Amino acid sequence: MISNQNVSKVYKMGEVDLTVLKDLNLQIKHGEFVAIVGPSGSGKSTVLNLLGCLDKPTDGKIFIDETDVTQLDTTALANFRGENIGFIFQSFNLIPVLSVYENIEYPLIMIQNLPEKERRERIMTLLKDVDMLDQKDKFPDQLSGGQRQRVAIARALVTKPKIVFADEPTANLDTHTSNQIITLMRNIQKEFNTTFIFATHDEKIVTAVDRIITLVDGVVTDDKRVA
């Protein structure tokens, strides 16, 4: 599903070039449950941003389902993301003035422009799946951290993405809630064969995945299957 060929990322810091990734070569198959680990500053979030088509590499190519996404212009890239990719962020990134239902609905209106009946069917199904049906009319500031993360997961999945990228999705959650969220994502992966790629420090996620990719200073130092 995902194939990288000699991907590098260099940021300009004034007159200094900061190399964050160096000749990254990864292949990730459809339906994998993968953790990218490494110390802070190792390049984990940069990998997610590149694979998730939020940024472009300085060098190299990224293929997703045989599409060379590095060749897509801004509009085409946004459309590709909307059709294929979901994101779960550490800070949830929910819109405070929208209800739970409206937050989940938002990408269906802005990205896929689905008819109202189909939107409602998808949203209600996901609200049930993440056990938030009775909270659908509440606003983000009325929810606990775990509840907000459940809404963020539902929003990431409502477009039926092939791949979900999750950047430290359990960092703001207590142990019990983290375990619930990890179990929920694992169940979704098994039911829908969705590919999940995590950037994380959380040992609970690391022990739950099928594959662990270790980054140090922008270089893959280990890549092992654990299940």
Render pLDDT for 17-29 as a digit per residue (tens, 0 to 9).
899 999 999 999 9
**Nearest to 158, CA basis, from 104, 91, 109:** 104
* pLDDT value at residue 85: 93
* pLDDT value at residue 129: 84
How much is the average pLDDT of 65-94? 90
* Domains identified in the chain and CATH numbers: 2-94+161-225 (3.40.50.300)
CA distance 61 to 216: 21
Q: Is the dihedral of CA 206, 207, 212, 218 positive or negative?
A: positive
Share of the chain above pLDDT 70, in %: 99
Residues ≥6 apart with Cβ < 8 Å to 74: none
